[in-house]
Copies of this chain bind each other. A is one copy, B any other.
Amino acid sequence: MTRMPQATESNADALPRQQRTYSIGELAQIFEVTPRTIRFYEQEGLLAPSRQGQKRIYREKDRVRLKLTLRGKRLGFSLAEIREVVMMYDAMPDGNARQLKRLLELLEDKRANLARQLEDIRLMRLEIDDVDQRAREVLRQLEDTP
């Protein structure tokens, strides 16, 4: 029982199974990246779209994956880090205890990382505000004395 593509999650809403799909170009436009980037993410194991002949077909799940990936990137995570979490998440349903515990550790790591980032943001904001103040003052001086 490796994988059941059918009805997996709790999102088994009453919706009819008419999944919306995307071409690579559409997805690229939505997230303002190039198709190259999306193919690259696939090559790196972050996406696994199905095919229709030769063409890649992206479902909602893939779109969400991409969204999460890009969010991770904006936060400075490497693709390797992102993949690690994503793959563990996928392996979760039939994962053994060791893997699950490893996943929990990983998550704790990420949490710590985010916490530090929050602090960094706080400090950087203070500095930016400070520089802003000074700049405005100097500017006022300049404009007050023609």
Question: A: which residues have CB within 8 A of B?
Answer: 2, 68, 71-72, 74-76, 85, 89, 92-93, 95-97, 100-101, 103-104, 107, 110-111, 114, 116-118, 120-121, 123-125, 127-128, 131-132, 134-136, 138-139, 142-143
Distance A111 CA – B75 CA, assembled complex (angstroms): 15
**Identical chains in the assembly:** 2
Chain B residues positioned under 8 Å from A85 (CB to CB) = 131
CB–CB B74/A139 < 8 A: no
Bound-complex Cα distance A142 to B72 (A):
30
How far is it, in angstroms, between the C-alpha of A71 and the C-alpha of B125 when the chains are bound?
A: 12
CB distance from A115 to the nearest CB of B (A): 9
Q: Are B68 and A100 in contact (CB under 8 A)?
A: no
Query: Is B139 touching A71 in the complex (CB atoms < 8 A)?
Result: no
* Sample of 13 more A-B contacts, CB < 8 Å, known A75-B120, A92-B138: A68-B127, A74-B76, A75-B124, A85-B131, A93-B138, A100-B135, A104-B132, A107-B128, A107-B132, A110-B128, A114-B124, A114-B125, A121-B121
